[in-house]
Amino acid sequence: MSSEARAERGSGLSLAQGVGRQVDYWATVSKRTWRATVFTSFASPLLYVLAMGVLLGGFIEGDPDRLEGATSYLTFVVPGLIAAHAMQTAVSETTYPVMGNIKWHRVYESMLATPLAVRDVVAAHLGFVVFRLALTCAVFNLALAPFGVFATWWGALLAFVVQVLTGTAFAGLVYGFTCRIRSEEAFGVLFRLGVFPLFLFSGAFFPVTNLGDVGAWVARLTPLWHGVNLSRMLAVDHVDAVVALVNVAVLVVLTAVGWRWSVTGLERRLVS
């Protein structure tokens, strides 16, 4: 059987049917692992946001002209940090878990021994990641809403959608990366040269204009900046329509590219 035929051997199922047949599996995974992620996914980042925004923010003057429309450092930092945390959550869920399903536990091989196709397996796993992203971002937004960090209810809702979209874009890209590496040692390079610099220098903690003209433009070219910037604009109701459209376009394109990158990566790893 050719690699193309093997990749499409689940073509008798629609994508929705293929994903639906895996709901029980991912529900079981969620039930067995949620306790281990409560602190890292919710408590620790929430305390971090409060420490940065409330304690440290009390020493920073709330100048909307310097804080991109935000009236306080707390309202400036919260939307960006939630978007940045969505990226970190997505990366966490698509590195070692994906490697484990490919290399150590061989879960994907057992799935592909059924009528499921590669696209079904990828869609179900990424769907689980999106669920985790939505849950995490929702908890953050609801917990911080009483602090007055959102100017409007619709802005908060749209910012939440953007935060999930930001994480989804990274999920697909990192999933495809994981499918193409042979050793988990490559994750160290990804974290040190990719995730950490993005987290620090994509505008979550301070306006990118503080990096100088060249540094600001470099920051604006990073995927995370688009999510951070759009999330903040919506949250503080200080929206530049043209910039917002560019931000949305970049995130949507990266999500589409990540989906294709993920499917072809798993096909090459397990089918070709």
Residues 135-172: tens digit of each pLDDT? 999 988 888 888 888 999 999 999 999 999 999 999 99
How many domains does the chain fold into?
Answer: 1
CA-CA distances (angstroms) from residue 79 to 9, 26, 83, 137, 217? 43, 29, 6, 10, 21
Out of 73-77, 102-106, 117-121, 252-256, least confident range: 73-77
Residue numbers of the domain that contains 93: 3-270
Taking the C-alpha atoms of residue 149 and residue 77, their distance in angstroms, rounded to an integer, is 9
The confidence score (pLDDT) of residue 5 equals 44
CA distance 209 to 81: 17
Mean pLDDT of the chain: 88
pLDDT mean over 18-24: 93
Kindly report which listed range (58-62, 105-109, 194-198, 257-261) carries the lowest average pLDDT score: 58-62
Contact yes or no for 116/13 (Cβ under 8 A): yes
Residue 44 has pLDDT above 90, yes or no: no
Q: Write out the two tokens for 116.
A: 């499921």
Q: What is the pLDDT of residue 226?
A: 97
